[in-house]
Structure 1
């Protein structure tokens, strides 16, 4: 169009009054800014903890490499750069540095403990200690996300792009941590941790030393609580059970939706005039309404299309649709919700019609109005009049239900129309077939397809229809002829009588049943899931067992999403358990790792509830992320505890406490890096801010809960489970030894 505009005659220009790509471009730009902010924040957090720019650069170097490798994964899987993949990339910043942090932090610890060791030897020793946990944690993250990629349905498509993006980035980050990071550590790290500093450097590092003192105090408090919980593990078990029950109750009581609605910069308005109003009358009303909308500050374009009913997707002279494009988000204070209220107010003030405004649906194609869409069905074959009366009952009951808002039906049997009655016997006596009568009526007063017409390499469909002036009144059928058996032309009025009556403008069947379409949404403070349940309950209470609601669009997808999310989490936890069981060669120790997951659920759903948000597909994705990260943190403690038992010969309780102390700093470091890296998502503004809030809040608060509560309780459960396992093993071996002694004594007696 830009190229063509250069050849336009003077005074002619073009604009794009309805542009859906504006929201997409703004959303991608917002997430890209968030990506950069997250990268910088993670770098600052790492420097504060590592207090060495070389360590920080080595740890952060895995991010660009992993991101580039992830883009290669996009190409391999056929993914595009969209909100889901960009969200996954933002979250992966905090995830991919975890493995590198484990390596460099352990190298730093080894160097600080042994002044005589070389950097290369320190790197080798550090990799022997953390190589296993790096592989295990990477397998855990892959185990959580890869099975999700094979879920079917709409939710599966959303999960797939996100899951595979995370899985690819984690896989490459593990590869980098096992090869690239230790190589950089051996080359660039200097053994200067214990050299004397100048007065200037001491002054520069004063804030960092104050941070170390603060963290040492926090560590002391942490270790005191861990020792208490390890000793009184029964209290820890009770508290964890309460956390699990509370998380489930909170999840069930929090409103739910499929995908949250957001301000997309576009508002749709459905215009209604009295049934059978002329097209000219509809245009005049819409011109006045469109002019009033254009005068609102923050509105860029208002485009009116008369004669089309957006709610039923049908042609209707008494209906119309207005597309309202708003100014970019940074150039207006007006929100889409505020504009919707203004449009409906204008529609009520202008005489002759009414207007219903809607936010742009979050998923175009699954919904027209952004709320729920369903069909009231009669399982016993009700007539159109009975269906209409039933729909009125449902609509009246919905108006008094506090959960529902703006519920209406598009089904109406009072539309003025004509019924064409054919005298079949008379037509047959003249030799006129029913097919000839039907095709003649349809092709002249309606429209009928003739053929395709090719012109300049393009195919055009040809339709036949009378001119408007020849199909205005019922008397016009006398001017349309059909040939009789003898070839003579006979007017249709000889066989057809037009009778005026009222009837539905559109009759819809949903499945095998005739249905009345309903549309609506949840009231403020309620979710779409609660609205769907309320509608089903109203139909049951008002109409009985012979009636039901059939859902379509987002309402149908939402009813399927709940089971998909549950399956995703169950499969993820099952895979985590099996992989850990294979690595530890034990069925009991993986349970200690999985005990961190209740705290992930508590933080994730608790953050959503505190902010007054709904649970959605984005929240469910966030839950998967924090479940994987919870297991990842727990592995660090369990792995080092096992190492203390095997190589240092410590008791179970001592091993648990020592592992908690050694791993507390890296766990806090990686957790804070992830939390602060996702804060830009949780606090995002502008386009797609609602979606960012859903996923950002879930992962940030969920990770905070895992870092605080999980770190306290995992050592306790490790000690408890390992102790019970050893006790059972001792009992089993003791019984076996006693049996062997009895058999030997019996043999000697003989």
Structure 2
């Protein structure tokens, strides 16, 4: 056996006070770090993303796409490190989303984006109110908090002003707060509504009104009077604030008499955009949809907002009510609490197993002490590495419960065996720790080797699991140290030899060992059968991996549902409001709904009147009878009864990899260099997929049914009057573009003055016949009908999307229950082939589906890398090419067990299941290490391979069973959990439990056969003793 060495274990046994105090220091550091760890749903794993916004009020989607989006895209395309560039152009607005590689600094990207905007500014339309602006965003991120602002007494414009100037501005200054989208905002404005008839009657145009207002309502510097004894600042009444002041403004003189603005127009105090509305439930108001900054901690950000709200509410009028409508941190905290309870249950189960097998209080307490110290100390390392307490790091700790006790069990059990042999407490502790030290190092380092490939995974998935892998690795390393220092020290002080009574019944472990011994003899007597069983297991494991349905991340129930509405492209605002209210009544009636908000109109990510937004908070899971996905399935048929509108719902996810808001969980992008070709084949693909029951909520974002009234300018006729196409465009913009012609400032904000035709005239195509321009040659009024022909309204796009400067369309879809993402990917590609999509039209999956394709391609390599890493570590430790193969032979049965359990429980092979499989690679080979390590030592002592492996199996049976049960019971709460966030944890627990059950049943018999087979195959001589490892 390995010789006793005066190493770390012996030193700790000789210095118990120092050992205990150093251990206490570890616990103290972990206890201090734990409350300082930030809370989060998942580790930070966001692509650096910048969103650029540009406005040109009144400009058509085609104009915005060609005149605004394209010049910007040309400049942005030269920025290094950009992985994706998309744009969406609608009436008067363009939004571009730029996504960069994970290694790109968001600050560097922001500087380059600003430089590109400056370069492109010379090619943008001259009449843009402002240059494009940018912000750092995570456009796919769900809002972290939605506030409802309402008042039964205050007008909507005044309420919106308070929401913007007081609430939004103050909240945006809070650390961690990102974009605040004010839905339903009716921003105050002065609206000048001119009468085309009155203007034409006295020979004036809208341009005369615009110029008069711009020249007579100003806010310029005036200077000051510098006297000998004082300085007096000059001030004038040059700025107009009230509609009554605008009424008195003189536009022109006709026949010596002044023409005031009130003679040709009605001036009112209204809102900047009258076509927006939002509700909290059924109560009209304004909603503040708050997102976090990229990288900001959700829980800390929301806590800061909640702390600031009382002070802000005190500054509002008494009639204004502010309430929290949706708070995502409630489900985040509930999910983390569930994991903490899972951790506690796992610890209790593992300790119970120790007590069952060791049957000695002192031994059980020693193992429990090692477990507690290792777990608590790991929090200190998490704090140093900048990690958070999230679902993945806590799952890593739960899984590590089984790993941590492995080391302590092996050490304590070996000491226990020496005590049973008659050694004294100190002698047994020194011998037991010295003999087993190499085995403990082998088990732990080969386990850590399985995590190494996770650290090199690319993309967002790699970012997510980096904290998982490092947390588990840190905990294992701490457990190695504690198991070889604290455990033998406590054993030397408190662990006594077991007392065997003459008539005492054999314990559970002894009875189990007797059963195993009988069956082991049978297995060794039928080695060919056992080897054949191993080969069958290997083949079934490979076949199972190939054929099992594969997915990405499980769909979570975060208690938050997002919705996007779509109506006919030419729907009126009034009809859209009525349809939204009908949908809201159905949502409000569902018993699972706790609160909800919805909005219509152009606001934030919503670019057209034909679309709206819903945000739905579900009740806590223990207060509702359906999951978020089941809620969507239940309410979908009722929502479809509302004619003329569709509400697309998707469950909010902690992992959202889309580059922007989406109608469903998964997206597919279709691109072409020709817009008409794109529209044709996108619609064909959409219709084809709608016949496939695997796809739900299928839609595309092509909104080509908008009404377009085309005006054909007769340039020759216009020239005869001295007019140009530019003059016509300017006149139309004044009349129908809600043109912002001026602004006025107060102490708290800046507001716009908007010029337009009166409401009765600007909504009718017939008004074009009574629309006049002034000829600069003759001064006479020329009707527009003399210069242009008005075509019958045709259909046109409400929005135009680009992807990488090419016309693009996005298909969104959810999956039917039981359908794996991998199957859906195959069926979508098959549908493309069946409809004969030409090569000029191509597409790719985006977001989660794209990440799934990438991870699917890398899965075999990840598994192979884990196997190779384990083989290398074992080969180095054992100085052998052969014995690592014996140890790795335990893995096929584990893989088969994991796949069978996933299949039986209806789970697809997701990323979480893959991580469970990688964990099994580290866990299961422990059985082989415990056997092979003892067998090799026994062979060096003169035993034959058959005798050595038999004795190894019998001697190490108890620690094998104990460590396997510990790992299994550590994963069992993850498998059986049904609380908040359980969807994410269950596949990992299922894979680990299934793998351990099958591998434990088979490897106890196949591993000794594989060992003997390799011994005979390679005819290796008895190896020289390995150098003693000082521990």
Of residues 176, 181, 195, the one that matches 2:487 is: 181
What SS does structure 2 have at the residue aligned with 1:375? strand
Change (3 A) 1:522 1:333: closer
CA distance in 2, matches of 1:159, 1:38: 22
Return the offset for 1:176.
0.8
Describe how 1:140-151 pairs up with structure 2 within 5 A.
Answer: 140-151=446-457
Look at both structures and tell me which one has the larger radius of gyration over its CA atoms.
Answer: 2
Most deviating of 148-157 and 491-500: 491-500
Q: What's the counterpart of residue 664 of structure 1?
A: 957
Change (3 A) 1:344 1:722: same
Change (3 A) 1:698 1:421: farther
Q: What's the counterpart of residue 812 of structure 2?
A: 519
Of residues 673, 681, 684, the one that matches 2:966 is: 673
Which 5+ residue runs of structure 1 have no aligned equivalent? 731-750
Which 5+ residue runs of structure 2 have no aligned equivalent? 1-308, 1024-1031
Tell me if 1:621 matches 2:915.
yes
Q: What's the counterpart of residue 588 of structure 2?
A: 294
Of residues 398, 405, 413, the one that matches 1:97 is: 405
CA distance in 1, matches of 2:715, 2:436: 89
Q: What's the counterpart of residue 499 of structure 2?
A: 194
CA distance in 2, matches of 1:454, 1:633: 77
Of residues 289, 295, 319, the one that matches 2:611 is: 319
What SS does structure 2 have at the residue aligned with 1:572? helix
**Does structure 2 conserve the Cα–Cα contact (< 8 Å) formed by 1:388 and 1:412?**
no
CA displacement 1:455-485 (0-9 Å, x = unmatched): 88x9989897858848544577787989989
What SS does structure 2 have at the residue aligned with 1:36? helix
Most deviating of 434-443 and 253-262: 434-443
What SS does structure 1 have at the residue aligned with 2:900? helix
Most deviating of 291-300 and 333-342: 333-342
Q: What's the counterpart of residue 344 of structure 1?
A: 636
CA displacement 1:425-481 (0-9 Å, x = unmatched): 78899998988987887798558899999988x998989785884854457778798
**Does structure 1 conserve the Cα–Cα contact (< 8 Å) formed by 2:939 and 2:1022?**
no
Return the offset for 1:244.
2.1
Q: What's the counterpart of residue 41 of structure 1?
A: 349
What SS does structure 1 have at the residue aligned with 2:949? helix
Describe how 1:555-566 pairs up with structure 2 within 5 A.
Answer: 555-566=849-860
Of residues 592, 604, 613, the one that matches 2:886 is: 592
Q: What's the counterpart of residue 701 of structure 2?
A: 410
Q: What's the counterpart of residue 508 of structure 1?
A: 801
Return the offset for 1:489.
11
Return the offset for 1:23.
2.2
CA distance in 2, matches of 1:443, 1:41: 75
CA displacement 1:132-171 (0-9 Å, x = unmatched): 0111111112211133212220111122121111111111
Q: What's the counterpart of residue 706 of structure 1?
A: 999
**Does structure 1 conserve the Cα–Cα contact (< 8 Å) formed by 2:570 and 2:705?**
no
CA displacement 1:178-197 (0-9 Å, x = unmatched): 21111111112123x13659
TM-score, length of structure 1 as denominator length:
0.86
CA displacement 1:100-132 (0-9 Å, x = unmatched): 00000000111112x2x2111111111222100
The structure carrying a bigger helix percent of its residues is 1
CA distance in 2, matches of 1:680, 1:719: 37
CA displacement 1:400-420 (0-9 Å, x = unmatched): 334333323232422212345
Change (3 A) 1:540 1:119: same
Tell me if 1:68 matches 2:376.
yes
CA displacement 1:600-653 (0-9 Å, x = unmatched): 21111111111011111111111111111122221111111111111x211112
**Does structure 1 conserve the Cα–Cα contact (< 8 Å) formed by 2:657 and 2:848?**
no
CA displacement 1:372-431 (0-9 Å, x = unmatched): 2112334xx4442x4333233222322333433332323242221234556667889999
Change (3 A) 1:723 1:302: same
Most deviating of 329-338 and 583-592: 329-338
Return the offset for 1:85.
0.6
Q: What's the counterpart of residue 395 of structure 1?
A: 686
How many residues end up aligned between the 2 structures?
A: 709
**Does structure 2 conserve the Cα–Cα contact (< 8 Å) formed by 1:38 and 1:93?**
yes
Tell me if 1:307 matches 2:601.
yes
Change (3 A) 1:421 1:241: farther
Return the offset for 1:694.
0.8
**Does structure 1 conserve the Cα–Cα contact (< 8 Å) formed by 2:648 and 2:664?**
no
**Does structure 2 conserve the Cα–Cα contact (< 8 Å) formed by 1:444 and 1:464?**
no
Return the offset for 1:706.
2.4
Change (3 A) 1:282 1:658: same
Q: What's the counterpart of residue 947 of structure 2?
A: 654
What SS does structure 1 have at the residue aligned with 2:979? coil
CA distance in 2, matches of 1:168, 1:485: 85
TM-score, length of structure 2 as denominator length:
0.63
CA distance in 1, matches of 2:548, 2:743: 55
Describe how 1:466-485 pairs up with structure 2 within 5 A.
Answer: 469=759, 472-473=763-764
CA distance in 1, matches of 2:484, 2:455: 26
**Does structure 2 conserve the Cα–Cα contact (< 8 Å) formed by 1:258 and 1:554?**
yes
What SS does structure 2 have at the residue aligned with 1:679? helix
CA distance in 1, matches of 2:1013, 2:758: 86
Q: What's the counterpart of residue 328 of structure 1?
A: 620
Tell me if 1:218 matches 2:500.
no
Tell me if 1:273 matches 2:273.
no
Change (3 A) 1:288 1:401: closer
CA distance in 1, matches of 2:741, 2:467: 45
CA distance in 2, matches of 1:491, 1:78: 70
Return the offset for 1:524.
2.7
Q: What's the counterpart of residue 463 of structure 2?
A: 157
